[in-house]
Amino acid sequence: MASTIIPTQFRYNDPYQEEIFSYDTPESRLYKSRATNNLFKIIGNDIVVKGLYVEQIRIINDDIISVSMGDGVAISDLTVVNILETSVVDLPCKDLVDTISGAHLAIFFNYRYNLHPTPIIASIDAFHVSPFGVITDPHGRFNLTYHRILLAIIDFVVDAGKVVIAHTSSLSELSVEGTMLTLRGVNNNNLVLPKLFIRDSSNLIEESYEYLLKKDYLLME
């Protein structure tokens, strides 16, 4: 059990896919990935493109809230990240302030493009958010620069030292560390082509997405 999970994934393009010259040492490589990734500005940034929905929420031993997040695609820091499997994050909650008092659990997409000797890997992270928007973070992991997309908001109720209720929230945004985050990044500041991400009565409108992304090399294995 863990509050952060690194799922199987592909990233397009990170600095380790766009070699122009290579002499088998990291210092001899020249990359152009940041330039090509600027093309995503015509679509948007820090948004969920497809999937990455809550699949299941379980309460384990009257304490741990376990959230299963489905596979999907996000654009984070102008990099497409294709998550290929379900991610399960767990957080002990019986000693935490619950939603009756205004707190929530929040599931974040954690990725920032960065030039580094080793690839930067995306993760799915769970945090408790206090009624005042403060992250409960004893290990100092949370950073809005990296936790750029709010994937899910979870309501939960603690009674007599036991977690008795846990479900997805009806909220569409959440104040986190002084910043108002919109669920799945769907807001006018992040979207250039908002109609790609509008839900109809049955499913996400994916025809335009298929045309703009899946059609070309960006989502090909």
What is the secondary structure of 94-119 as a DSSP string? TTS--GGGT-EEEEEEE------SS-
> Going by DSSP bridges, is the β-strand pair 64-69/104-110 parallel, antiparallel, or unpaired?
unpaired
State the chain's mean pLDDT as an integer.
83
Question: What are the tokens at 170?
Answer: 């009806």
- Quickly count: other Cβ atoms within 10 Å of residue 147's Cβ: 25
Contact 33, 11 (CB under 8 A): no
Q: How far apart are CA 65 and CA 57, in angstroms?
A: 7
Q: How far apart are CA 194 and CA 43, in angstroms?
A: 8
The pLDDT score that the predictor gives to residue 221 is 46
What mean pLDDT is predicted for residues 126-136?
Answer: 97
* Omega within 30 of 0 (cis) for the link into 114: no
| pTM of the predicted model as reported, rounded to 2 decimal places | 0.81
> Going by DSSP bridges, is the β-strand pair 64-69/9-12 parallel, antiparallel, or unpaired?
unpaired
What mean pLDDT is predicted for residues 17-36?
Answer: 58
pLDDT greater than 60 at residue 146: yes
Question: What are the tokens at 37?
Answer: 């990734």
Give the residue with greater pLDDT, 215 vs 166.
166
Q: Who contacts 170 (Cβ-Cβ below 8 Å, separation ≥6)?
A: none
pLDDT greater than 60 at residue 190: yes
User: What single-letter DSSP state applies at residue 84?
Assistant: -
What mean pLDDT is predicted for residues 55-74?
Answer: 97
Q: What angle do CA 37, 178, 108 make, to 5 degrees?
A: 50
Contact 84, 220 (CB under 8 A): no
Sequence length of the chain is 221
Q: Who contacts 31 (Cβ-Cβ below 8 Å, separation ≥6)?
A: 15, 16, 18, 19, 20, 115
pLDDT band at residue 156 under the 50/70/90 scheme: very high
